[in-house]
Homo-oligomer: A and B are copies of this chain.
Amino acid sequence: MSERRPGIADVARAAGVSASTASVVFSGKAPVSQATRGRVLSAAAELGYTGPDPRAASLRRGRSGIVGVLFMEPLRTAFLDPVKTAMMDGLTEGVAALGAGLLLLHDDATGNGDLLTSAPIDAVVVINSSDAIGEALALLRARGVPIVVIEGDAAAGVPRIGLNDREAQRLAAAHLAQLGHRHVVVLALPPRRDRARDWLDADDEIRFDVTRDRLAGARDLFPDAAAFAVEENSIDEGVRAGRALLSSRERPTAVIAQSDLLAAGVIRAAEDAGLRVPEDVSVTGFDGVRVDGLDGYELTTLVQPAFEKGRAAGAAVARMLAGEEAASITFTCTFREGTTTAPVRIPSVG
């Protein structure tokens, strides 16, 4: 008695039409008379047919309607970052235009090499790639899967959605310079995976280009600025780093943080150390996201169009799927002056 689920052929038969006609009723790809349409639909309802099996449709169409999102880190840390979640929202919207959904992939341990090969994905968006991605990228290209990269080293021919990080960061640096700051320290994002929290040496290899470019932008104004790199983009890391930065005897008058989360951490650390922001120390961030828990301050920062970046990636995917060329895009950040920067205080003459 275990009936197998009805297929479109069953529906067609019950409605007295051909399978192709029934198919068209569901896809809407061709005109159908009201009469037949009605008969097909009620036959479907009768049989409990809920529409074409997506698996079969995928095969026939050569499209699954699924776009992979490949992260270089565990989801937990990726989603800790408001920029990434905003991007995900944008990406969701971008691929929704395609009628597609997002499949989570991460280049990290168990079973994911598998998914990369075995998941029915039409395209992949890579988030914040680094060299570590080489293998995965090669796999995907061999499969002929279109790839778009957001913030990272795109291989040749891979469209990249990025920011004018260097120029943007330079704006914040210029702002501080104009306020009279001379002793500035950069609080940097991780330079590469698995690198311990520490000062950045001149010969430290910086593999993440966001880190590299923002640092370059800061040093365009402050060539000698020291840089301290965290292990992870979070408020707590900012607090820890902030403690280190602010307790040194040669305390900087300003901190250029490479993210708003880090900036929030620095501010917290400053408060804890009895320093006032911006009176005793100025702090700039980067991203322009709402930082949960930074109530009371308006961060001086660079506002990046995170949502737009995601949506643009979705659009690029759509173009590639349509067989067109998708160009790389560089978005522009806008400088926003907040309440966390102020003119440097002239040391009172002893």
Chain A stretch 95-125: residues in CB contact (< 8 A) with chain B: 96, 99, 101-106, 110-112, 114-115, 117-121
Residues 184-224 of A contacting B (Cβ, < 8 Å)? none
A236-B292, A272-B296 given; 20 more Cβ-contact pairs under 8 Å: A54-B64, A54-B118, A54-B121, A55-B55, A55-B59, A56-B59, A64-B120, A66-B66, A76-B89, A80-B82, A92-B104, A93-B110, A96-B110, A99-B114, A99-B118, A102-B103, A103-B104, A120-B120, A234-B292, A264-B293
What's the nearest-Cβ distance from chain B to residue A119, in Å?
5
Chain B residues lying within 8 Å of A59, measured Cβ to Cβ, are 53, 55-56, 58-59
A315 shortest CB reach to chain B, Å: 15
Q: Which of chain B's residues has its CB closest to A51's CB?
A: B117
A296 partner residues in chain B, CB cutoff 8 A: 272
CB–CB B119/A54 < 8 A: yes
Q: Does A142 contact B (CB under 8 A)?
A: yes
Q: Let me know if A119 and B55 touch, CB within 8 A.
A: no
Number of this chain's copies in the complex: 2
| A220-277 CB contacts (< 8 Å) to partner B | 234-236, 239, 261, 264-265, 268, 272
- Mark contacts of A59-100 with chain B using CB atoms, 8 A cut-off: 1 yes-contact digit, 0 otherwise: 100101110000000111001101001101100110010010
Return A304 CB to nearest CB of chain B, in Å.
15
Whether B239 contacts A268 by the Cβ 8 Å rule is no
Which residues of the partner chain B approach A290 to less than 8 Å between Cβ atoms?
236
Question: With A79-B79, A143-B50, A236-B295 in contact, do A103 and B101 touch (Cβ < 8 Å)?
Answer: yes
| Chain B neighbourhood of A89, CB < 8 A | 74-76
Contacts of A268 in B (CB 8 A): 293, 295
13 contacts between A and B (CB under 8 A): A50-B117, A51-B118, A54-B64, A54-B119, A55-B64, A75-B85, A92-B104, A93-B110, A99-B114, A101-B103, A104-B104, A236-B292, A265-B293
Question: Interface residue count for A (Cβ, 8 Å)?
Answer: 63
Closest 3 A-B residue pairs measured CB to CB?
A: A235-B293, A54-B120, A79-B79
Binary per-residue interface labels of chain A (1-18) against chain B in the complex, 1 for a CB within 8 Å, 0 otherwise: 000010000000000000
Central interface residue in A59, A121, A292, by most chain B CB within 10 Å: A292
Is A157 interfacial (CB 8 A cutoff)? no
Q: How far is the CB of A217 from chain B (nearest CB, A)?
A: 26
Q: Which residues of B contact A292 (CB under 8 A)?
A: 80, 234-236, 261, 293
Complex interface: chain B residues within 8 A of A66 (CB): 66, 103, 119-120
Chain B residues whose CB sits within 8 angstroms of the CB of A111 once the complex forms:
96, 99
| A350 in contact (CB, < 8 A) | no
In the assembled complex, the CB of A72 is this many whole angstroms from the nearest CB of chain B, namely 15
A265 to B291 CA separation, bound complex (whole angstroms) = 13
